[in-house]
Amino acid sequence: MQKLVVIGAGMASGRVLEHLFDTAPEAFDVTLFNAEPRGNYNRIMLSPVLSGEKTFEEIVTHDDAWYADNKVTTRFGEKVTKIDRDRKVVVGENGEVAYDKLIIGTGSAPFIIPMPGHDLPGVVAYRDLEDTNAMIDASAKPGGKAVVIGGGLLGLEAAAGLRLRGMDVTVLHIMGHLMERQLDEAAGYLLKQDLEKRGINVMLKAQTKCIEGDGKVERVLLEDGTVLEADIVCMAVGIRPAATLGQDAGLEMGRAIKVDAQMRTSDPDILAVGECVEFDGNLFGLVAPLYDQAKVLAKTLLGEDDAFKMRELSTKLKVTGCDLFSAGDFAEGDAREDIVFRDPKRGVYKRLVIEDDKLVGAVMYGDTADSNWFFGLIKDGSDISEMRDTIIFGPAFQGGGAAAADPLAAVAALPADAEICGCNGVCKGTIVTAIEGAATTLDDVKAITKASASCGTCTGLVEQVLAVTLGDSFEAKAEKPICKCTDLTHEDVRRLIKSQELKSQPAVWQQLAWKTPNGCHVCRPAINYYLLADWPLDYQDDLQSRFVNERNHANIQKDGTYSVMPRMWGGMTDPDELIAIAQAAKKFDAVVKVTGGQRIDLLGIKKEDLPAIWSDLNDAGMVSGHAYTKGLRTVKTCVGSDWCRFGTQDSTGLGIKLEKRLWGSWTPHKVKLGVSGCPRNCAEATCKDVGVICVDSGYQIGVAGAAGMDVKETERLIDVATEEEAIEWTVAFVQLYRENAKYLDRAYKWVAKVGLDWVKETLDDPATRAALIERFDISQSVYQHDPWAEHVENRKAQYAPLADLTTEAAE
Amino acid sequence: MSQPLAPAATFTRIAEVWIPEGDHLVHGGGAYDGAEGLSDLSGQMSFAKGEGLPGKAWAEARPVVLKDFDGSYFKRTEAAKEAGLTCAVAVPVFAGKTLKAVLVILCGDDADHHGAIEVWEDEGSKLVLTDGYYGTAKDFEAISQDISFAYGQGLPGGVWAASTPILMRDLSRIGAFIRAEAAGEIGLKNGLGVPVPVPGDKSFVLTLLSSENTPIARRFEIWDARPEMVGAEKKALRMDGFCAVEGPLWPKENPPVDAVSASAWQGPVGQVLGSGLPEVHQGATGLPKGYTLMVALPVYKDTELTHVVAWYL
Amino acid sequence: MSWTDIGALTDIPLRGARIVKTPAGCIAVFRTDEAEVFATSNKCAHKGGPLAEGIVHGKQVTCPLHNWVYSLETGEAQGADEGSIATYPVKIEDGRLLLDTDAVAARNAA
């Protein structure tokens, strides 16, 4: 095991050790020296310890147990006097330790202005716990007075802490505004006001002359003659790298110990990290780059490649109730442009500095909500030219959308007896009880309460109850939102359309907080379907929300022409129809194809010819075959008992009756039926959405078959004795599908989600079936009509060009 | 940090929320620590403005401390005494001029267990004690009555100046907290200061001081919900807190990118953000491990919810 | 500029489109709002799909063939797709639609 010696138990070297022990716990035998008689603590949190808002114990990063667990030999309270590079030993006050590798992490020392009186008792720096404790002790005197020299980050945090401890505090700052390294003048002004409101006295351009006192601090004198009484003086004017050890050891120095991008000093066995190093001419004071350095150093030690890079810095002042953020560079320059926002009433000031279409600096006071976003833009060097006009208003504005509707609010407000799952009659209280009984996932709740175990439309709602009850610890398995226009899922939207009685698209967009003005090609067709399925009498079908095929009632082909397919009821036709079809095919130059759905397809029709060909087919008594819809397509039949020697029932007749009943209805996805006259199944009914097999005793109704990308046999819904019952069950099933499925889910997918058992149970109730059929018929009263005839009558012009300028141009 | 803790007796025992409905305050939930008499009784009651403790906080538009149930306007004296309670404080929650709710906290202490509830009121340039309960800590009470806090000074002054709740540790070391010595003697350790805005010009600060033996609670949290901190989304970041089980609960990074966040309506703290009402949450569900009761108080500035203070038993 | 009357605003359904035949090929005229129209080439840059048949949303249209989405303002394909379609000046005057046929011709010549 290699011997690693670390000098300095600070935040940077502490992070190095964490990385080492995480990745290679057995690689090094570590000895850790620290001049302070304690291990690593979160030094940047000393300010709240000073103010009394934290205890020291709270800010300890590595306690004794941590060092013991990682077998670190600790030599705390012991100064290192010398590094002997020739012998590769570190000389401590209590003896030597040999090293194979050495890390110098001696940090920095506070800078003390050598003015008269600077060495009086009661003059403290603000660097470590000793300083902090000295100030806390000084504050114990009732009515005590403190003077803080230095109006930078540390000085102001010290001032705020001492004030909260009850002292009368004066801050002396030599510059014209506070925190001039991080803030511009305007923000510095607001900060000064804010501090003065807390009873802190701030004096700018204050030249301190000397500190006086008899045996201890009593007063501070300024050059202008001002005399300030003081029981304690905190000097927080800056830090300087504590690099003497490195210098004495003959390492290459700049203002601190020089390191390369791998954190190596000029001696390859000695590495350095933190405030005691200089990299590429830079010194370090904030914690973020130190953590970067620590990571790189650990990798270097382990022989892995990595390189430290300078990055932009940001900082926030840790004074409770003071919201201040600054990042990047905000010096004024010729090529630079400022964007400034002020809200005097709220005490808000924001300034962005832009150079070459990039954000290079940001100062925020009073409102720092978007600071991370701005900092990200600075760090990434993003091109902000497109959002230049609105960038100051932050990311929410760029998204363009209002805050999304919060479905959780409604759920949280529901009383315990509110029904969540209508299918299984489960109320909110029952679900909450289950969650309190340790159900933490949707599946748990499903298993225990049956909520959302059936039709599944309440899945989103159950998840919301979980979220409301469990808080952020609940992670929804997340049905995806419909599209980028909304955060809501299909299930959410279907439920809300019903429960909030949303009956128009604008109502949906507004009430459900759509992020786009009127949806997109993904959500509009779905919303259009949900609205027309749930509110057939109130909602007006919107052609502009339909895919081209459904809008033009013909299938667009890849060359932009269309196919036209007239309905053949149950696959039956006659010579007159065939003649009409043949004539139309000739007249409009169509390619003719016999389809698998027992019909004839005419391909290659130009859009402007559509009304004419429809008109011809209408004249021959034919209507649209809806071969282009998410709706009823065909009912495939065999010849049945009329002709076939095996036929048990009139399958063709039943097919025609079903088709006449169901045609024209819109459904979540296409619906294809089949009716076979006997179990030989010539109509291939067992892979349809609904397939009926005729048997001697009646009719076997199967549902949820598939013969597309998935192939799946139907599952038996029920056996019935009569044709009427077969129609009744089929219609009820289709309506149940219409009312509950997600748009673009075929029946088999929907049944897989809700479970066939639920479908069976639901349809088993004659009253439910009757109600479904009644609702289906209401919808059919609106939608069962031939679109071809209607379009020929009313929309013919839409199929022609708006204007034809080719002839004019020729003239 | 994860050693199981002996559930110490806590100073606050019972909390309840009263919601205005027309001209009455009706019971909006509560946790009664097994005091069934009080629980049953409370569920049936309502208070007119000025009536009983909640009604008084509403009428006077300030936090009201009740030191002795006997012979007072408290309407549930018998049940409260039966439950071993010795004092109560009613905190009105105003959003601008509108009363959102009254949070009532009932406490119990004895000769060995101390805690203090104080109400500080501004007298122009300083805060003075206007109401308080100190139980048997008579010396501490006497000292407290004699002192005042300037803007920004001490826990009450700090809360007043920063318009934010503040959680102080280690009160006995806070020197100019003139009362440090006295506080140390009776073991007062932590203090929670909360601004209580009311209609009109007056400023009130409520402080709850708790001893190690009888903490106000075993876990405290301060959530910052100001849009200038969290942005347009309705959520809050946990900026301070400590817990007997988990230790410190504040963000370690600067800027505090690692602050824990809670979204509106999600979980118990989320309910407060969503509804804008105080929340007394009973049962372990949704609470941090080891806790079965949470009391959360929303803090408003004008009509805007700015912070949520939560403590857990 | 040569503004040519191509029809009435109300000839185009709201969030719909019609085509205009020109010597430079078909131009799609979109009505994105009550009184907002755009004119672009009707041919999708991808596989030549008829854009006038697409779903119109916001100031965009989605091609009916493969769901490419175009900004009607700039003609640029949105999202990950790269390509663009020509756009032409069109305006509404007294409820009539006027197309700049010079721009169409120029485009054709180029």
User: A516 versus A547: which is more confidently predicted?
Assistant: A547
Architecture per CATH, A323-399: 2-Layer Sandwich (3.30)
How far does CA A538 lie from the centroid of its chain?
36
Q: Which two tokens stand for residue B48?
A: 């007119």
pLDDT tens, residue by residue, A360-401: 888 888 888 788 788 888 888 888 887 877 787 777 666 443
Interchain contact C26–A (C-beta under 8 A): yes
The number of distinct structural domains making up chain C is 1
**Comparing C-alpha atoms, which of A245, A239, A287 is closest to residue A125?**
A239
**Three-class SS of A98-154:** ECCEEEECCCEEECCCCCCCCCCCCEEECCCHHHHHHHHHHCCCCCCEEEEECCCHH
Residue of chain C whose alpha carbon sits nearest to that of A520: C57
Coil vs helix vs strand at B139: helix
Name the closest residue on chain A to residue C14, using Cα atoms. Answer: A544
Round to whole Å and give the CA distance between A745 and A667. Answer: 10
- For the stretch A565-584, pLDDT in tens is 999 999 999 999 999 999 99
Cross-chain Cβ contact A372/B264 below 8 Å: no
User: Any idea of the CA torsion for A158, A161, A166, A167, to the nearest 10 degrees?
Assistant: 0
> Which residues of chain B does A413 touch, with a Cβ-Cβ cutoff of 8 Å?
275
Q: Which residues in chain A touch residue B153, judged by CB atoms under 8 angstroms apart?
A: 163-164, 166, 199
Whole-angstrom distance, CA of residue C90 vs CA of residue C85: 15
> By C-alpha distance, which of B14, B119, B106, B16 is closest to B60?
B119
Question: Which residues from chain C sit within 8 angstroms of residue A803, using beta carbons?
Answer: 6-7, 20-21, 99
Inter-chain touch B229–A369, beta carbons under 8 Å:
yes
B114, pLDDT greater than 90: no
- Chains A & B: contacts with CB separation below 8 Å: 192
Check: CB of residue A467 under 8 Å from CB of residue A476: yes
The residue among A323, A472, A473, A487 with the most chain B CBs within 10 A of its CB, best to mutate, is A472
What is the structure's pLDDT at A332?
67
Residues 6+ apart with CB under 8 A from A140: B173, B175, B176, B180
Which amino acid belongs to residue A263? M
Query: What DSSP string runs through A635-684?
Result: EEE--GGGT-SS--S-HHHHHHHHHHHHTT-B-SS-EEEEEESSTT-TT-
Question: Is A2-107+241-301 a CATH 3.50.50.60 domain?
Answer: yes
C11 vs A545, A552, A802: nearest CB: A802
Does B231 contact A394 at a Cβ distance shorter than 8 Å? yes
Q: A407-537: which CATH topology?
A: Arc Repressor Mutant, subunit A (1.10.10)
Instruction: Please tell me which of A260-269, A483-492, C18-27, C94-103 the model is most confident about, judged by mean pLDDT.
Output: A260-269
Contact (Cβ atoms closer than 8 angstroms) between residue A145 and residue A172:
no
Residue from the list A165, A394, A432 with its beta carbon closest to the beta carbon of B174: A165
Alpha-carbon gap, residue B65 to A729, rounded angstroms: 69
Select the residue of C13, C50, C67 nearest A560 (Cβ to Cβ).
C50
Kindly state the average pLDDT of the residues A422-445: 81
Distance, CA of C7 to CA of B147 (rounded, Å): 85
Q: How far is A316 from chain B (nearest CA, A)?
A: 5
- Interface check for C52 against chain A (CB to CB < 8 A): the answer is no
Q: Judge whether B206 and B1 are in contact, CB under 8 Å.
A: no
Yes or no, beta carbons of C23 and A805 under 8 Å apart:
yes
- According to DSSP, residue C11 is labeled G
The pLDDT, as a whole number, for residue B124 is: 85
Q: How far is C49 from chain A (nearest CA, A)?
A: 7
Q: Is it the case that chain A and chain C have 3 or more CB pairs lying under 8 Å apart?
A: yes
Residues A679, A681, A684, A685: what is their CA dihedral angle, to the nearest 10 degrees?
-40
| CB-CB under 8 Å, B252 with A45 | yes
Closest Cα of chain A to B121: distance in Å?
17
The tokens describing B120, both together, are: 């500080």
**What is the spatial distance between Cα A384 and Cα A12, in angstroms, rounded to a whole number?**
34
For the beta carbon of residue A112, count every other beta carbon within 10 angstroms.
16
Interval A190-207 mean pLDDT: 90
Q: What is the DSSP string of B35-53?
A: -HHHHHHHHH-EEETTSHH
Q: Is B152 on the interface with A (CB under 8 A)?
A: yes
Task: Residue A628: list chain C partners with CB under 8 A.
Answer: none
Does B274 sit within 8 Å of A469, measured CB to CB?
no
Task: Give pLDDT, residue A810.
Answer: 42
Residues of B in contact with A395 (CB under 8 A): 231
Kindly report the CATH class assigned to A634-785: alpha beta
pLDDT value at position A475?
66
Strand partners, A240: A109
Taking the Cβ of residue A574 and every Cβ of chain C, the question of whether any pair is shorter than 8 Å is answered with no
Decide if A167 contacts A145 (C-beta within 8 A).
yes
| Contact across the interface for A517 and C53, Cβ inside 8 Å | no
Q: Does A735 or B40 have the greater pLDDT score?
A: A735
Contact A678, A692 (CB under 8 A): no
CA distance, residue A9 to nearest chain B CA (Å): 18
pLDDT band at A473 (very low <50, low <70, confident <90, very high): low
**Burial group, residue B288, by CB count within 10 angstroms (0-12, 13-18, 19+):** middle
Which residue intervals of B101-153 are DSSP H helices?
138-146
Enter the ipTM: 0.91
Decide yes or no: CATH 3.50.50.60 for domain A112-237.
yes
For residues B242 and B249, the answer to whether their CB atoms sit within 8 Å is: yes
Name the more confident of A179 and A527. Answer: A527
Find the mean pLDDT for residues A721-736: 96
* CA gap A438, A421 in Å, rounded: 20
Mean per-residue pLDDT of chain A: 88
Instruction: Please report the pLDDT score of residue B59 as a whole number.
Output: 94
CATH number of the domain that residue C61 is part of: 2.102.10.10
Return d(Cα A285, Cα B24) in angstroms, integer: 58
The token pair at A544 is 């502009």
Q: Which residues pair with B25 in a beta bridge?
A: B20, B47
**What's domain B219-313's architecture?**
2-Layer Sandwich (3.30)
Q: Do A471 and B163 touch (CB under 8 A)?
A: no
Kindly report the CATH number that applies to the domain delimited by B111-216. 3.30.450.40
The average pLDDT across B130-147 equals: 84
Res B2 pLDDT > 60: no
Does the beta-carbon distance from A59 to B150 stay under 8 Å?
Answer: no
pLDDT per residue as tens digits for the range B49-102? 999 999 999 999 999 999 888 777 778 888 888 888 888 999 999 999 999 999
The DSSP bridge pattern shows strands B115-122 and B126-133 to be antiparallel
Tokens 């088999």 sit at which residue? A748
Please indicate if any CB of chain A lies within 8 Å of the CB of C12.
Answer: yes
The CATH number of the structural domain formed by B1-108 is 3.30.450.40
Question: What part of B 247-276 touches A (C-beta under 8 Å)?
Answer: 247-248, 250, 252, 254-257, 261-271, 274-275
Name the token pair of A269. Answer: 């066995």
Shortest CB distance from A803 goes to which of C7, C15, C47? C7
Q: What is the pLDDT of residue B176?
A: 45
Spatial distance between the Cα atoms of A735 and A729, rounded to a whole number of angstroms: 10
Distance CA B222, CA B236 (A): 9
Contacts with B254 from chain A: Cβ below 8 Å: 44, 286-287, 315-316, 318
A277 phi-psi bin (left φ>0, alpha ψ -120 to 50, beta other) = beta
10 Å CB burial of residue A411 (0-12, 13-18, 19+) is: buried
Mutate to test the interface with C, among A521, A549, A791 (most CBs of C within 10 A): A521
Q: Measuring CA to CA, how many Å separate B141 from each of A199, B136, B157?
A: 26, 9, 18
Amino acid at B176: A
Residue A796's closest chain C neighbor by CA?
Answer: C11
pTM value surpassing 0.80:
no
Nearest to B103 by CA among B307, B299, B238, B241: B299
C96 pairs with which residues across the strands? C8, C93
Quick check: bond before B199 cis, omega within 30? no
Q: Phi and psi (nearest 5°) for B241?
A: 160, 160
Beta bridge partners of B181: none
CB contacts < 8 A, A to C, total: 94
Cross-chain Cβ contact C57/A520 below 8 Å: yes
Alpha carbons within 13 angstroms on the beta-carbon side of residue A233 total 29
What average pLDDT does this structure show over A164-172? 91
Cα atoms in the Cβ-side hemisphere of radius 13 Å centred on B84: 12
Q: Which domain holds residue C37?
A: 3-109
Closest CA of chain C from A800, distance in Å:
8
- Residue C104 CA to residue C89 CA, distance in Å, equals 9
Task: Quote the CA–CA distance of A561 and A589 in Å, as a whole number.
Answer: 12
A and B touch with 3+ CB pairs <8 Å, answer yes
Comparing CA positions, the residue from A698, A753, A766, A759 lying closest to residue A734 is A759
Sequence ranges of the domains in chain B: 1-108, 111-216, 219-313
- Say if residue B183's pLDDT is above 70: yes
Place B145 in a pLDDT band, splitting at 50, 70 and 90. Answer: confident
Pairing label, strands A89-92, A95-98: antiparallel
Do chain B and chain C touch with ≥3 beta carbon pairs under 8 Å? Answer: no
Confidence of residue A563 (pLDDT cuts 50, 70, 90): very high
Q: In the numeric block, which tokens belong to residue A110?
A: 């506070």
- Nearest CB to A396 within list B175, B232, B266: B232
Nearest CB to A472; choose among B176, B266, B274: B266
Please give the average per-residue pLDDT across B3-19, as a whole number.
69
The reply to whether residue C55 touches residue A810, judged by beta carbons under 8 angstroms, is: no
Contact yes or no for C49/C21 (Cβ under 8 A): no
Find the helix or strand (DSSP H, E) in which C41 lies: strand C36-41
A558 in contact with chain C, both atoms CB, cutoff 8 A: yes
Cβ distance A805 to C53 less than 8 Å, yes or no, reads no
Q: Report the alpha-carbon distance of residue C42 to residue C29 in Å, rounded.
A: 8
- For strands A73-76 and A28-34, give the pairing: parallel
Tell me whether residues B228 and A467 touch, CB distance under 8 A: no
Chain B residues closer than 8 Å to A58 by CB: 169, 242, 247-248, 250
User: Which tens digit of pLDDT belongs to each residue from C54-96?
Assistant: 999 989 999 988 888 999 999 999 877 788 999 999 999 999 9
CB A41 within 8 A of CB A63: no
Nearest-angstrom CA–CA distance, A49 and A157: 11
